[in-house]
Structure 1
């Protein structure tokens, strides 16, 4: 039985960290396995899961690829640039 893919809007760095951890665990990957795929140390993966605001865009793209996530950007429904929260 396969789970239906879901997408969630992220508006904070904290939410990104939670998504990265949850996705890694759902795929039964260790931090060391993700580290090897991304080209970082396990300690750095651990740190970035707790401090996702320090991820570079290149690291984020590599990480998403390593754990089977797809990064999408789009306009918010009914949102305006004035309503975007600061990280």
Structure 2
């Protein structure tokens, strides 16, 4: 899988899609990720569909299992204007 470009996420649904698509891009099953995270396959499925229920520590572990970095930074002006309707 080619490196994933940085993603700007403004909703939980986007996070779920990113986790799922990255997992599939790595050709990993939900069971394989579940084993890495010490979760059940059913729980992984649920969390991919409901990422807003992920704890911060679960999100960090999931990112690590998929080889993703979680980065925070100041929003640039153009992005801030485009996302005024974001879920905050």
TM over 0.5: yes
Q: What's the counterpart of residue 10 of structure 1?
A: 9
Unaligned runs of 5+ in 1: none
CA root-mean-square deviation: 1.7
Aligned structure 1 segments of 4 or more residues deviating by more than 4 angstroms: none
Q: What's the counterpart of residue 20 of structure 1?
A: 19
Deviation track 1:50-84 (CA, whole Å, cap 9, x = no partner) reads: 0000000000000000011110011111138xx37
Unaligned runs of 5+ in 2: none
Tell me: CA distance 1:61–1:84, structure 2 relative to 1, closer, same or farther (3 Å): farther
Secondary structure at 1:15's aligned position in 2?
A: helix
Count of paired positions:
84
The TM-score with structure 1 as length reference comes to 0.88
The TM-score with structure 2 as length reference comes to 0.87
